[in-house]
Structure 1
Amino acid sequence: MARVTRWTGREAELLRTAMRKKQKEFAELVGVNPRQVPRWKRRGETIELELDNQTALDTLLTQATPDVQQRFAALMTERAAVEHDERAEELLRRDPSTRRHPIDGKVMALVEEGIYLSGPDNRSVWLEPFLIDVYPTTNEDYSRFVLATKHRPPQHWPDGHCPVPLATHPVVWVTWHDAAAYARWAGKLLPTARQWEKAARGPRGRVYPWGNEPTAAKANTAEAGIDATTPVSRYQSGASPFGAFDMCGNAWEWCSTEEDPGSGRYHLKGSAFTSPFERAAPFLLNAAAASMKDNDTGFRCATPA
């Protein structure tokens, strides 16, 4: 069942549509004045509903028939996908340093050549220019790869199919080998740990993608209390200087750099919804065996510019 962490006028209208109720009928079910429902629809995401209304909507969704829940999940995903595409197209129009990759269609941001300040001690490191995915690889992205290659789907996909409510969430339950296989299919590479860090922090050694303030509300970490992944374009205010999203929180991301040469353990970056915010700084180190997979581990790709 699709879960709603914050009911706004938009989600309420989608639930009404899924239930196929007229505005007056829906108002009676929620327990509000019938004038409220068209007001919610008109205000959309700009209005967050009162707590008693949110509770009533939670109950309605929980008690709805499976058909209604499925329609609601599909409408939520459709809206999220449209917003995701709209934001991607806006990026392409607004920022000449972004471009759409010809194989997997993902928007990539240019990270220019030059020095960036690396690690906790801000050492100067030179990197050649490269492109990196603006958003982590989503379940929807990964489903195209699975369909094209017959690669093993992640274990949380029901019957091996991309779950509709999670289409724009980062794909998880993927090993380093799975991530590397997707990158090969897409004609890309997994980023090195240094590339990933520069894309997250920018060239001047920001502690976090958005700056130096430890603002937990800008990322999906444990403090958010969501306890699950979120759509990859949700945290707009947490984007990096190069425009990359989710470089803190949501899901750990595999890199191509081994912890020690030949160890078979690879760097993971960025923290996840399971991580305390103190683990979110992009320069922090984490690594795991290439065969590891978990509900909080995904990836994004890079390519030389």
Structure 2
Amino acid sequence: MRRKQKEFADLVGVNPRQIPRWKRRGETIELELDNQAALDTLLTQAPPDVQQRFAALMAERASTQHDERAEELLRRDPSTRRHAIDGKVMALVGEGIYLAGPDNRSVWLEPFLMDVYPTTNEDYAKFVLATNHRPPQHWPDGHCPVTLATHPVVWVTWQDAIAYACWAGKALPTARQWEKAARGQRGRIYPWGNEPTAAKANTAESGIDATTPVSRYQSGASPFGIFDMCGNVWEWCSTEEAPGSGRYHLKGSAFTSPFERAAPSLLNAANASMKDNDTGFRCAMPT
């Protein structure tokens, strides 16, 4: 934001002496949730040029070094692992009952692994290179834009998502798997809890009007540590709306959606051939 230390501290709502402490600790820092939420809100409300600078810096870092937060997650949490083919970090969602749908009915699911982050443009580029699959239409000359490397891939059909999942040796999650990974076992309304906090997700209220890096909304993670289960992009599921309909469930809402559509229990579906600038996916697999 190119602000002086005191100006920035006032915007975040912390003591100015806190800012140099944060800078010194760098990637090792683990912020309190209220501080992280304040930073998320500040970034959400920032002017477009600030948001673009932030996105470019995140993409530049991702293209030159490992995702240190992901590496730390793997070291610290034995329920996470890195997939052998696409290299994505996956989180374990344990077996058992969870509360499903708007009426919170009890549903049993076997254990499964879910991608911590949606499939990014960078992830999808590996798939395109390996299989010669057609690239998304928003890639200039068919090449992944550096500034969007850590953003979720969009302009992908259900068939495109299935092709990626098959290449990676995974599957698209069922609608029930997706909802459990988002809400946890106790029926949270949102991944972070029951409070409708729009600043924890990239929905229409943010005013960004574009995708954001998949690791940005840290205070909006689900109980299993899974990101972007509200907002950013709609995500394809493997569950068909009705047998033979050719329409498949979409979950999570997007940057184009009002926050009222963000609850993971809500239903949405589209034709398998549909593609748009706010639709992507992530993968799951059995344990």
Tell me the SS of whatever aligns to 1:93. helix
CA contact (8 A) 2:55 2:212 kept: no
Distance 1:274 1:166 in 2: 17
Provide Cα deviations, 1:190-243, integer angstroms capped at 9, x if missing partner. Answer: 000000000000000000000000000000000000000000000000000011
What pairs up with 1:137-216 in 2 under 5 angstroms? Answer: 137-216=119-198
* Conserved 8 A contact 2:58-2:150: no
Tell me how far apart the structure 1 counterparts of residues 2 and 250 of structure 2 sit (CA, whole Å). 33
Structure scoring higher RCO (CA < 8 A, sep ≥ 6) equals 2
**Where do 1:84-95 residues align within 5 Å?**
85-95=67-77
Change (3 A) 1:142 1:120: same
Cross-structure match for 2:13? none
The answer to whether residue 93 in structure 2 is matched with residue 111 in structure 1 is yes
Q: What is the letter of the counterpart of residue 73 of structure 2?
A: L
The residue number in structure 1 matching 2:256 is 274
* Partner of residue 236 from structure 1, selected from 204, 215, 218: 218
Deviation at 1:90, TM superposition (A): 1.1
Counterpart position of 1:14: none
Deviation digits for residues 78-134 of structure 1 (CA, Å, limit 9, x no counterpart): 224578711111110111100000000000000000000000110000000000000
Partner of 1:291: 273
May I ask how many residue pairs the two structures share in their alignment?
Answer: 257
TM-score of the aligned structures, taking structure 1 as reference length: 0.78
Change (3 A) 1:234 1:74: closer
Rounded to whole Å, the distance in 2 between the matches of 1:73 and 1:256 is 30
Q: 1:91 is paired with a residue of what secondary structure?
A: helix
Q: Which runs of 5+ in 1 are unaligned?
A: 1-5, 10-38, 49-53, 63-68
Distance 1:101 1:84 in 2: 15
* Residue 83 to residue 196, structure 1, CA distance change in 2 (3 Å): farther
CA 1:279 to 1:74, structure 2 compared with 1: closer, same or farther past 3 Å?
closer
Separation in structure 2 between the aligned mates of residue 58 and residue 106 of structure 1, nearest angstrom: 30
Partner of 2:108: 126
Opposite residue 213 of structure 2, the aligned amino acid is P
Unaligned runs of 5+ in 2: 5-19, 28-34, 40-45
- The 2-side partners of 1:293 and 1:104 are apart by 23
Deviation at 1:76, TM superposition (A): 4.4
Note closer, same or farther for the CA distance 1:58–1:195 as it changes in structure 2 (3 Å cut).
Answer: closer
User: Between Structure 1 and Structure 2, whose CA radius of gyration is higher?
Assistant: 1
Q: CA deviation at 1:77?
A: 1.5
Secondary structure in structure 2 of the residue aligned to 1:124 = strand
Partner deviation per Cα, 1:241-268 (whole Å, 9 max, x = no partner): 0110000000000000000011000000
Give the alignment's Cα RMSD to 1 decimal: 3.0
